[in-house]
Amino acid sequence: MKNEGSKKASENEKLKDLERNREISKDQFLTTNQGVKINDDQNSLKAGDRGASLLEDFILREKITHFDHERIPERIVHARGSAAHGYFQVYESMEKYTKAGFLQDPSKKTPVFTRFSTVAGFRGSTDLARDVRGFSVKFYTEEGNYDLVGNNIPVFFIQDAIKFPDLIHAVKPEPHNEIPQAASAHDTFWDFISLMPESAHMIMWAMSDRAIPRSLRMMEGFGVHTFRFVNKDGKGTFVKFHWKPLLGTHGVTWDEAQKISGNDSDFHRRDLWDAIESGQFPEWELGVQLIPEEDEHKYDFDILDATKLVPEELVPVKKIGKMVLNRNPDNFFAETEQVAFHPGHIVPGIDFSNDPLLQGRLFSYTDTQLKRLGGPNFHEIPINRPIAPMHNNQRDGHMRQEINKGQTSYQPNSLRGGCPFQAKIAEGGFDSYPEKIDAKKVRERSESFKDHFSQATLFYNSQTEVEQQHIINAFSFELGKVGETEVQERMLGLLNEVNKDLAKEVASNLGIKVPKKKEQLNHGVPADYDPERYEPTKSNPSIEKDPALSMMHNGFGNIATRQVAFLCADGVDDNSVNDMKKALEKEGAMVNIVGPNSTEVKTAGGKSLKVDAAFRTTASVVFDAFYVPSGEKAHKALKKIPKAIHFLNEGYKHCKPIAVAQENGLLEETYFWKDLDKKNLEEDGVIVGEGKSSEFVKAIGKHRFWKREEKDSIPA
């Protein structure tokens, strides 16, 4: 979808054309991989024109062999992703807390490559699955690559890395029939979750609208684990990382998500790509929660436990810089697919904590790249190369690119004067934070990790009523897809620990009862099970609500990049189109003319209006708001297009703003019009009348008019 008015967009276009022309103007002959010019790429070499193919056809063999090997193993998790280039800039020096070079100088731009992903689905699966989203940022700093490999949810399902393969086996399609794709609504997932009370907090987030984002550009990101900043004096400060999108954090409805999956399974990928192509660069602020080392044990949760967050009410988020994504990849495979992130890629000034989930990740990521990218030299793939100079004595291996010169490949050496040298700390050499460890070797979990429910309750209590209802609906849908009543009941037992009303409502939707008998809550226990040690506890949380946990808490009013469909047909009024278009584009919204066919409509003034999409080829669910310009003839025509009426019905169902410049019977064709309180239309996000662009802008800024869900009056 294009924003024709955007200046940046046309600049981008020009650049692209230049690039294309440059390519075209070169003497570019088709060649083999050995550089031999190819004369005929249409016919294989045969014994006669009807004869058998000849084995000596090196052109055919090379082409087909390469094709046969085009696929590499997809990521075991986070296989489906979309990425973009950009930069990061710090607002002010963070030297008090960290010596990390890229966090010192506000005038310095550090290049980044950021990849967003779903977790469970395969590489070709739908974008709008209910799932956690990966949010990985590679900072190409002058001191080496730093990867912040996070998610759009600040906590995780499990406390210890040893449970990760179990979690992923449970959520992936079931092994006997490989069903379902990119969905958690199936028996094995809920069987596992219902047996793992430590997942209670994360599952609340996963059932919230956070798991069905409106756009990758409208998601928060979180480092999840507690990390450590280290300053030049060696002083450590615990740190939690946050990414806050400047466009606010927004979701879609579940009905919409399912329909988007059918209409445009690349919805998020396309949205990110289009926004960047049109010059509407997505931006996030990097926030940190800083916790002095002295406060490590101050809270009623353990900051090393990845199933807990640090409420912003307790430790505010300090915004320290901004990331802008301003360039799409040139080649999906070379960049988005081959990028290799690793939470262990850190730079001086940043260090790990002892979070047992993080510690396990430190092993996993290199291990997986060895297999996925085919060997130990994946750091030489262009997208993974640091911009910092790189010298060491690692040599050889599959697909080695660098031609290392000289006689020595060991350290110490004298034959090359000792080169490459170790760097002193003052010269930027990495030194691990000297944390004191004096402990027994045990397979145990800390007492301080035992409270699995308080923060799940805090999350639920912090949601608006609408958000709570969406969570109830999500549990009801997901558990409704589970065949085993025993699993459903066990899950209700867990939900009962989080919030009794939640459990009751879900049970009623499932048509079963919350079990009276309290389940043995922790099934994930060692063979030598000690109930004292493993029975979950519930502490008394110091706060009851944290508004930052609710998506509906901030980010409203901004309509930049919102997709507005103008429903048009021949006879549409020129001014009615142009005035609204101007008003919306002034605020950065994207106007899309939707018409009976994909060419053009004739306006009442005799002009031709280019159509961006035909009703036949698009769907209401890919738009944020709808506008019907005036024009009697146009309205008459729209009335006869069932899909146009469906746009309005579905737009209403999904609580989106609707503006109609002139009511002359079109709205009467819809399901919702007759029941509307005509005196308070605008409160319901329905704007009727000419010249109401500012009301419409305001309505789009509200994102959705959730009150409509109470009536739930639209059948499908």
Q: Looking at the annotation, which residues are catalytic? A: 78, 151
Residue nearer to ligand HDE on the CB measure, 379 or 698: 379
The gap between the terminal CA atoms of the chain, to the nearest Å, is: 26
Supply 52's token pair.
């058998």
Torsion over CA: 169, 171, 177, 178 (sign): negative
Q: Is residue 156 part of the contact set for ligand HDE (CB under 6 A)?
A: yes
Query: Pairing between strand 283-292 and 608-610?
Result: unpaired
**Sign of CA pseudo-dihedral 168, 174, 178, 184:** negative
Token pair listed for 254: 């579940």
Q: Smallest gap, in angstroms, from Cβ of residue 153 to ligand HDE?
A: 8
Q: 372 a known binding residue? A: yes
Ligand-binding annotation for 365, yes or no, is yes
Please, what is the minimum distance in Å from the beta carbon of residue 266 to ligand HDE?
17
Q: For residue 685, with 0-12 CB atoms within 10 Å meaning exposed, 13-18 middle and 19 or more buried, which class applies?
A: buried
| Residue 696 DSSP SS3 | helix
Q: Answer yes or no whether residue 368 interacts with ligand HDE by CB under 6 A.
A: yes
Please list every residue from 331 through 350 that binds ligand HDE, using CB under 6 A: 339-341
Residue 214, annotated as binding a ligand: no
DSSP assignment of 325-394, as one string? EEE--S-HIIIIIT----TT---TTEE----HHHHHHHHHHHHHHHHHSSSTTGGGSGGG--SS----S-
Tell me how far, at minimum, the Cβ of 210 lies from ligand HDE, in Å.
14
Which CB atom, from 123 or from 698, has the smaller least distance to ligand HDE? 123
Question: In terms of CB distance, is 201 or 581 closer to ligand HDE?
Answer: 201
List of long-range contacts for 314-319, beta carbons under 8 Å, 24+ apart: 314/542, 314/543, 315/240, 315/289, 315/290, 315/291, 316/289, 317/242, 317/244, 317/287, 317/288, 317/289, 317/548, 318/287, 318/288, 318/289, 318/290, 319/91, 319/244, 319/285, 319/286, 319/287
Size of the site for ligand HDE (CB under 6 A): 27
- Smallest gap from residue 80 Cβ to ligand HDE (A): 10
Q: How far is the CB of 357 from ligand HDE (least distance, A)?
A: 5
**What's the rounded Cα separation, in Å, for the pair 455 and 449?**
12
Quick one: which segment of 57-65, 286-294, 362-370, 534-542 binds ligand HDE (CB under 6 A)?
A: 362-370
Phi-psi region of 397 (alpha: psi -120 to 50; beta: other; left: phi over 0): left
Q: Mask: binding to ligand HDE, 110-129, rule CB under 6 A, as x and -?
A: -----x-x------------
For ligand HDE, give the closer residue by CB, 157 or 706. Answer: 157
Residue 357 interacting with ligand HDE (CB under 6 A)? yes
CA dihedral 195, 199, 205, 211 (to 10 degrees): -70
Contact present, 659 and 685 (Cβ < 8 Å): no
Q: Is residue 236 a contact partner of residue 494, using CB atoms and an 8 Å limit?
A: no
Least separation in angstroms between CB 118 and ligand HDE? 10
Identify which of residues 167 and 604 has a Cβ nearer to ligand HDE in the complex: 167
Residue nearest to ligand HDE (CB): 134
Site string for ligand HDE, 73-102 (x = CB under 6 A): --xxxx--x---------------------
Q: For ligand HDE, what does the binding mask look like between residues 296 and 315, x meaning CB under 6 A?
A: ----------x---------
Selected from 80, 361, 635, 703, the binder of ligand HDE by CB under 6 A is 361
For residues 425 and 431, is the Cβ–Cβ distance under 8 A?
A: yes
Q: How far is the CB of 138 from ligand HDE (least distance, A)?
A: 9
269 annotated ligand-binding residue: no
Report, in Å, the least distance between residue 89 CB and ligand HDE: 22
476 scored as a contact of ligand HDE (CB under 6 A): no
As to burial, measured by CB atoms within 10 angstroms (0-12 exposed, 13-18 middle, 19+ buried), residue 504 is: middle
One residue of 120, 129, 224, 482 binding ligand HDE per CB under 6 A: 224
The helix (run of H) or strand (run of E) holding residue 135 is strand 133-141
Is 161 near ligand HDE (CB under 6 A)? yes
In the complex with ligand HDE, the residue whose CB is nearer, 170 or 479, is 170
Q: Whose Cβ is closer to ligand HDE: residue 164's or residue 671's?
A: 164
> Is 164 known as a binding-site position?
yes
Are residues 131 and 81 in contact, defined by beta-carbon separation less than 8 angstroms?
A: no
Dihedral (C-alpha) 686, 691, 694, 696: value to the nearest 10 degrees?
20
| The binder of ligand HDE chosen from 86, 101, 121, 134 (CB under 6 A) | 134
Q: Which residues sit in the known binding site for heme? A: 75, 115, 164, 361, 365, 372
Residues within the interface to ligand HDE (CB under 6 A): 75-78, 81, 115, 117, 134, 136, 149-151, 156, 161, 164, 224, 306, 339-341, 357, 360-361, 364-365, 368-369
Q: Which residues sit in the known binding site? A: 75, 115, 164, 361, 365, 372
